[in-house]
Amino acid sequence: MQADFEKTLQERKAEGLFRERKIFSPQTDGLVDFASSDYLGLSQHPLVKKACIEGVERFGVGSGGSAMVSGYHVAHQALEEKVAEFVGKERAILFPSGYGANLGIINALSNHVEGIFQDKNNHASLLDGAKLSQIPMRRYLHNDCHSLRLKLQGWKHKKVLIGTESVFSMEGDIAPLVALQEMLDVEQHLLMIDDAHGFGVLGAGRGCLQEYSLSQVPIYMATFSKALGGVGGFVAGDDAMIEMILQYARSYMYTTAMPPALAWANKAAIEVIEQTNVVDQLWDNIRYFTEQVERLGVCCEPNQSAIQAVVVGDAVRAAAICEKIKQQGFLVGLIRPPSVPKHRSLLRINVRATQTKKQIDGLLRLL
Ligand SMILES: *Cc1c(COP(=O)(O)O)cnc(C)c1O
């Protein structure tokens, strides 16, 4: 068995796909961070840190159990209420991770739908959710409503779940959410939107439902782990939908609830978004970045989101460029298969509120 493992690992190295974790400390290494998803810099915000410390002092470190047994604290309840109101839904439920939230939604609804249709580029957590729940899955062409319509027409069953990301996590492009909502039949089709990269960014921070006036979308999922600078996922919807997830999601029941201090910090992060101009600062930088990309003719398709991608193609070449950029003092994300299709390795550039125009200029000059 050991020889098999070694062979597999050697093959991965030869393909340029071997992953190495580097200790991430941009501040101490003096690197400008264009890699983390902490778009608003809230993981370092004084009020968020203060809330986390206060949370530890009030509630301790761990939650102590599943939310169904002893892990549901007043901090969780407060965050659920806060986030539901913030995104404009009746009710919300928290998960320790966004990954678990996606597994839970699909799992909880699996006895009520006969299939799940997903965008070809959907996040692994959505795909894994379908596999784990053993519901038949079909994948439609990326951001292509026509492809989805054809697949739905060819499907003998009626009730289906349709899942898409809002802002796609690898390339930062945005799904045709309004067109999707309009083409679906509310009697038969349940639309779920994973807004991991839109929450805290779009709709003045309230997410894609606010940005595109999508009040009819029944299942809204997002995470506190990206723009909110914390950890954990949540689902928001009407009372019955959230109750279904609470009663039936195995990834809710059989896992320890998020640390209450983190729930407290996540709630403070929402308050910072409401009360300060951090989201405006981010958009100021996104606008500057995309304008400069057009002006300089950088090989990057500008997105109306915090994620900008430079598609390189070959994995080995992408890794080499990433390393060169790092030597010049900038950290960008290196994205390779299986996160993207073969021959579509890319540099993921996350625009963040705390970057200066000079730092953005510096990176663009290198590109
Ligand atoms: C990061 C991410 C998740 C998972 O969220 P975690 O909180 O990191 O587990 C789910 N969906 C998308 C699109 C993501 O980018």
Q: Is the CB of 305 under 6 A from ligand 1?
A: no
List the residue whose alpha carbon is closest to atom 8 of ligand 1.
98
Is the C-alpha dihedral spanning 24, 30, 35, 41 positive or negative?
positive
Cα 196 to averaged position of ligand 1 atoms, centre (Å): 6
pLDDT of residue 218: 97
Which pLDDT band, with edges at 50, 70 and 90, does 186 fall under?
Answer: confident
Which pLDDT band, with edges at 50, 70 and 90, does 184 fall under?
Answer: very high
Q: Is the CB of 194 under 6 A from ligand 1?
A: yes
pLDDT of residue 57: 98
Pocket test for ligand 1, best of 123, 165, 224, 335 (most atoms within 8 A of CB): 123
Index of the ligand 1 atom closest to the CA of residue 233: 7
pLDDT of residue 23: 86
pLDDT of residue 100: 98
Q: Which of 204, 43, 236, 223 is nearest to 123 (CA)?
A: 223
User: What does pLDDT average to over the chain?
Assistant: 95
pLDDT of residue 158: 81
Q: Is the CB of 99 under 6 A from ligand 1?
A: yes
The per-residue pLDDT for range 54-107, each reduced to its tens digit, is 999 999 999 999 999 999 999 999 999 999 999 999 999 999 999 999 999 999
pLDDT of residue 293: 94
pLDDT of residue 16: 79
DSSP notation for 52-68: HHHHHHHH-SS--SBTT
Q: Is the CB of 118 under 6 A from ligand 1?
A: no
Residues of the chain above pLDDT 90, percent: 89
Q: Is the peptide bond before 96 cis (omega within 30 degrees of 0)?
A: no
Q: Is the CB of 97 under 6 A from ligand 1?
A: yes
Average pLDDT rounded to a whole number, residues 124-137: 96
Average pLDDT rounded to a whole number, residues 168-177: 97
In the block, residue with structure tokens 């896992």: 255
Average pLDDT rounded to a whole number, residues 360-367: 95
pLDDT of residue 157: 79
The per-residue pLDDT for range 203-220, each reduced to its tens digit, is 999 999 999 999 999 999
pLDDT of residue 91: 98
The per-residue pLDDT for range 234-292, each reduced to its tens digit, is 999 999 999 999 999 999 999 999 999 999 999 999 999 999 999 999 999 999 999 99
Q: How far from chain centre, in Å, is Cα 141? A: 20
List the residue whose alpha carbon is closest to atom 6 of ligand 1.
98
pLDDT of residue 288: 97
Q: Is the pLDDT score of 15 beyond 90?
A: no
Cα 230 to averaged position of ligand 1 atoms, centre (Å): 12
141: left (phi over 0), alpha (psi -120 to 50) or beta: beta
Here the tokens at position 173 are 């492009």
Q: Rounded to whole angstroms, how far apart are CA atoms 232 and 78?
A: 15
Which pLDDT band, with edges at 50, 70 and 90, does 27 fall under?
Answer: confident
Q: Is the CB of 166 under 6 A from ligand 1?
A: no
Average pLDDT rounded to a whole number, residues 16-37: 87
Q: Rounded to whole angstroms, how far apart are CA atoms 2 and 6?
A: 6
Close Cβ partners of 147 (under 8 Å, ≥ 6 residues apart): 140, 141
8 A C-beta contact, residue 178 and residue 143: no
pTM, whole model, 2 decimals?
0.96
